Structure 1
Amino acid sequence: MVRFRSRRSQSRGPVHPSNSPARREHQAPHLAYVMVRIGAVDIGTNSVRLLVADVDEKERLKTAHRMGEISRLGEGLDRTGVIDEAAAQRTLDCLERFVHEAEYSGASQIRVAGTNAFRVARNGREVADRYAQRIGYPVDILTGEEEARLVFLAVMSGLSAPHGRSVVVDIGGGSTEIICGEGERGTQLISLELGCVRLTERLVRGDPPADQELEQIRSHVREIFAEKLGAFDDTRMDRAVGVGGTVTAFGALDLGLTKYDPSRIENHLLSRERIASIEKHLCSIPLNQRRDLAGVSRGRADIIPAGAVILSEFVNRFPVSGVYVSTRGLRYGLVLSEARKVWRPQGEPVGN
């Protein structure tokens, strides 16, 4: 059983201050519009991410606050089948801070969701329930399909012209989601048991990874792709978009950034050639050098070779010229889905 250090005498529920910016009306002589402020926390296998954003009835989203932190909830999970007590406590400490930030930022509602680590761990439900008791909000354990749909919604919301046919890849710590869709609607989606933490713990021992270890990862990814993606229609692809820490790190490295800047990375095109080049470099240098690279967080440096192989094999699988970088991951989908409950309570399309 996982036990947590007591930090509060009672759980905390949503706050709705009377002067909160959660719901704001802006009025001009011929214009009036309202925005709702929503918070979302994505508890991933490797990191915890917070977004607080204002969303209007046309689903235009303006970021108010975003944070991310490596907590490695899934440490040792592939070996033991359970969430480790120390990893659970690290993640809870981060989660409590992020929920407090969302409340302090004036979010009128907060959604918290867990992904692969909670799905596969034997004690995943227990840990999620204990988290919920501590923070005062439910912790939803998303199915792989739910996660994929929300990621596609998030990524498409960040494109200037989300028309045509797209394929999206979200490379995470415990799983990889791949979604094909037309316009803003995902039509084919799958969550694969391919994650950077999982593959690194299972197959990597060397520093840098030995050629044999990298080939084992590559062979495993190809095998899963061949088995699971056979039904995916890869014709007429207008674009490929990637999201997740591996992809954003590739974007920062390709642009030569000295400091991570989401506005510079968003919609940056990574060519096939640059993906192959960056993959080769990341897989050939030791951990201490990867940690010094701008755009590669210290908590991601050990697992990014596995992520690099997944990204490389993704572009080999789909007939695309490269991958556009998106910084809008699952937390953006969570915010938008909550906004739709406000603006479309009966499920009617926006604008109808």
Structure 2
Amino acid sequence: MRIASIDIGTNTLLLLIGEVQADGSLSIVHDEHSIARLGEGVHASKCINEKAIERASHILHRYKLICDSYKVEKITIVATSAMRDADNAEYVCSILSSIIQTPISIISGKEEAYFSYVGSKETYDNPTIIDIGGGSTEIICMDNDHTIQSISLNIGAVRFTEKYFSVYPPTSEILQEAIAEIKTSLSQFTISVHSPVIVVAGTPTTLACIDQGLDEYHRDKVHGYILTYDAISSITDMLCTSSYDSLFSIKGINPKRADILPAGSLLLKSLLSYFAIEHCIVSTKGLRYGVLYHSII
């Protein structure tokens, strides 16, 4: 039996297909990444615009064909921050769900954190997971009672780009305002962050590409790669002092992600600094894996 999960995020739209074996185990047969930027302008307008819906629709039509070609029998679709914030979420869901012919669940920040943890922890012993999305950031760990603890911050790479990066590079004063917002958001919560720290989503995977000098993304070279705080700090400083055009010429950056990477990198650097984390492990998995694993329980 083949099953699929689709993660409709603020920036990305991700498809994962797995095959359930006779013994109940799951093997991955297809993993696809696309950028729809569904959350474009949502922070200011509280609505998902028609161009964003069109981009997402085009991707989902392609995903439907892929699922059909793999003879997928069950699809689970979740949507996160952009859909949580948009006043027209019901309208958007009706359009997108009709393409895949499957209902879309708009999950809470807590649910998003849970799926990210399940999808990313692998065999690591009691890790902390940091998932930097386009609209929100989740920090997840397990306490001594084996209960998953999480916080969901309403800050993400797309949201921060629209708020603080209207000009490239931003002034040092603007960057300090952004860092201050991150610290203020974190100060409202209590969570015990401990090593190993696993970082998920497009920001850390792209930083891993840059740190290794890769021309393009290679999963085998990115998954499990260790990013030091010093490397992240150095890359962040470079990104946050670059002009808009120069961002697109940096090796390892997907052109569709170039504009939001400085904000995402600043977020990651600030989080690691706040919790005094010296290094982190990059994961290419995350929420879509957690959704797929959960669907066979």
Give the TM-score category using the shorter length: over 0.9
Partner of 1:197: 158
Question: C-alpha separation between the residues in 1 aligned to 2:282 and 2:168?
Answer: 28
Distance 1:87 1:318, change over 3 A: same
Post-superposition offset of 1:276: 0.7
Matched residue pairs, number?
296
Three-state SS of the structure 2 residue aligned to 1:242 is strand
Query: Equivalent of 2:218, from 249, 261, 271?
Result: 261
**Preserved CA contact (<8 Å) 2:134 2:159:** yes
User: Which one-letter code corresponds to 2:207 in the other structure?
Assistant: F
Larger Rg: 1
**Preserved CA contact (<8 Å) 2:151 2:191:** no
**Preserved CA contact (<8 Å) 2:10 2:82:** yes
Distance 1:233 1:151, change over 3 A: same
Query: Equivalent of 1:143, from 108, 122, 140?
Result: 108
Post-superposition offset of 1:292: 2.3
Question: C-alpha separation between the residues in 2 aligned to 1:249 and 1:61?
Answer: 27
The answer to whether 1:177 aligns with 2:102 is no
Question: C-alpha separation between the residues in 1 aligned to 2:186 and 2:267?
Answer: 10
Question: C-alpha separation between the residues in 2 aligned to 1:59 and 1:253?
Answer: 38
**Preserved CA contact (<8 Å) 1:59 1:336:** no
Question: C-alpha separation between the residues in 2 aligned to 1:305 and 1:337?
Answer: 33
The answer to whether 1:247 aligns with 2:212 is no
Deviations 1:115-152 (A, max 9, x none): 11110111112211232223211111111111110000
Deviations 1:14-52 (A, max 9, x none): xxxxxxxxx3xxxxxxxxxxxxx2211111111111111
Name stretches of at least 5 consecutive residues in structure 1 with no aligned partner. 1-22, 24-36, 341-352
Q: Which has the higher contact order (CA 8 A, sep 6+)?
A: 2
Post-superposition offset of 1:288: 2.1
Query: Equivalent of 2:7, from 42, 45, 49?
Result: 42
Three-state SS of the structure 2 residue aligned to 1:63 is strand
RMSD over equivalenced CA pairs, Å: 1.8
The answer to whether 1:162 aligns with 2:127 is no
Question: C-alpha separation between the residues in 1 aligned to 2:22 and 2:128?
Answer: 27
Post-superposition offset of 1:248: 0.4
Deviates more, 1:52-61 or 1:327-336: 52-61
TM-score by length of 1: 0.80
Query: Equivalent of 2:296, from 317, 326, 339?
Result: 339
Partner of 2:185: 224
Post-superposition offset of 1:56: 4.1
TM-score by length of 2: 0.94
User: Which one-letter code corresponds to 2:221 in the other structure?
Assistant: R
Determine what percentage of the aligned residue pairs are the same residue.
Answer: 31
